[in-house]
Amino acid sequence: MLLAVTPNPALDRTLVVPGLRLGTVHRAERCLIAAGGKGLNVARAARTLGQPALVCAPLGGVTGQQVARLATEEGFAAQWSWHSAGETRTCVLVIDPHGEDATVINEPGPTLSSSDWQTFVATVSTAAITAHVATISGSLPPGVPAEGIGALIATLQAAGCRVIVDTSGSALVAALTVTPYAIKVNRHELSAALNMPLHNQAHVMAALMELRMRGIALGVVTLGAEGALAINPEGIYYARPPAQAIVSSVGSGDSLLAGLTTGLLHEYTLPEALRMGVACGTADALTIGGGLLDMADVDRILAQTTGQWLSG
């Protein structure tokens, strides 16, 4: 079982607006509303791959109730932690079908108290009983110090889960100090966390080796359209997808994580799991909505995704 933990969930409103220009009035062509947050996207993509997932997130207010209802309607298994700190945030994504990529406006979310956070960690502990791998995806809510992610990681590890962290900023720095099983981030996030320039492949390889020196069993760095690099005890592997004309990159990293994690749960080798992850991330970029995959796209892209060992 996969447990997808989302510390700062959202109600995602995706507006499709042809010819988008700032400072003018537009009518949206379509409006998609979904239970959102990076962990929900991971679970959504994993389910398309046939991997059962349980989602866990703190929710509050009328918006939180709407997120829970939408998740139920979508068929998610979930354990929510309810708080009274305010409304679960709403994130707005605006997509011009003829533009280069989506425009994303993320609200910060409600400010959680120490008690709220402890309740959420306890909920995660209960949810982790049936899980083998757990992902922690996205930002921490306002009010939760960066070190708060350490409590989540420790709780999940105590339950016997392999923990994969996908976050950024001070939360990523804090996560590195408590040594989760795996880190999956993009090059800009890892560059900031390690205070290392990651301008080319050699720089990324050096950063991955630094993760291994810190005790991380699996490190993955995403490179956008160029694919991803990963390191484990066998060495460093690079997977690259075929070129695609993207619709929206929102959720692509989450789908990559879903593909990678599904591969790990099925005991794929690192090359197999990373290639699957890269294919899923690329397929996601062809759709409107985070974590949405068309398996025909995944299969087609996977067949064209190349890979090679760079060391090991």
Read off the CATH number of the domain in which 108 is found: 3.40.1190.20
Pairing of strands 228-232, 218-222: antiparallel
Catalytic residue among 96, 116, 254, 297: 254
Question: Which amino acid does the sequence have at 215?
Answer: G
Q: Which residue has the tokens 């400010």?
A: 111
Domain that holds residue 300: 2-311
Q: What is the biggest distance separating any 2 CA atoms in the chain, rounded to whole angstroms?
A: 56
254 is catalytic: yes
Mean pLDDT by 10 residues, the chain (312 residues): 97 92 88 96 98 98 98 97 97 86 91 97 96 97 97 96 98 97 97 96 97 98 97 98 92 97 97 98 94 97 98 82
Number of domains present in the structure of the chain: 1
SS3 at position 20: coil
pTM: predicted TM-score of the whole model, two decimal places: 0.95
Query: What's the confidence (pLDDT) of residue 312?
Result: 75
Distances, alpha carbon 191 to alpha carbons 197, 198, 212, 220, 222, in Å: 6, 6, 15, 13, 12
Query: What's the confidence (pLDDT) of residue 96?
Result: 87
Determine contact, residues 171/154, Cβ cutoff 8 Å.
no
SS3 at position 258: helix
Query: What's the confidence (pLDDT) of residue 52?
Result: 95
